[in-house]
Amino acid sequence: MNRINSFPPIIDHCSEILILGSVPGAQSLKMQQYYAHPQNQFWKILFHLFDEPFSADYHQKIKVLKRHNVALWDVIESCERKGSLDTEIRNEIDNDIQQLIDNHPKIKIIFCNGQKSYKNLIKILGKDFKIPIVVLPSTSPLHTVKLEEKLEKWKVIKTYL
């Protein structure tokens, strides 16, 4: 099994909200873009939340994140995995989330995109971390909740903008 690596964080000195996934899926690794699978609803949800016109252009997507002070990263730095399923992740090494938070003191809340990122993050930081950690429904196409239901849960982000 091949070892895969996550991407560098998308973050700057203005970031106030951190969204964490688990580790990039096969399509994202191929494209070298966060949430590149066409059925992943991450970008649709964020553009809707921020009331931005949707763009398929990755550079535009990153600009939207930064314009709204949102940082993006994954909890897993590297792992072995067949395909894209979180359940297939083996021999994982965590990203240094604590260091990222320490280096970006404006971050006031962490949102986890799905249960895997949440469970890993709690192992890393503990349940009583200094800033709130909120788990949201996964935007993965494998998480078969309707877009409207996911969007409703993800709206909590707007209260921190």
Please list the active-site residues: 40
Q: Environment class of residue 126 by beta-carbon count within 10 Å: exposed (0-12), middle (13-18) or buried (19+)?
A: exposed
Q: Are strands 17-21 and 3-5 parallel, antiparallel or unpaired?
A: unpaired
CA angle, residues 63, 27, 71, in degrees to nearest 5 = 30
Give dist(CA 80, CA 92) in Å, integer: 7
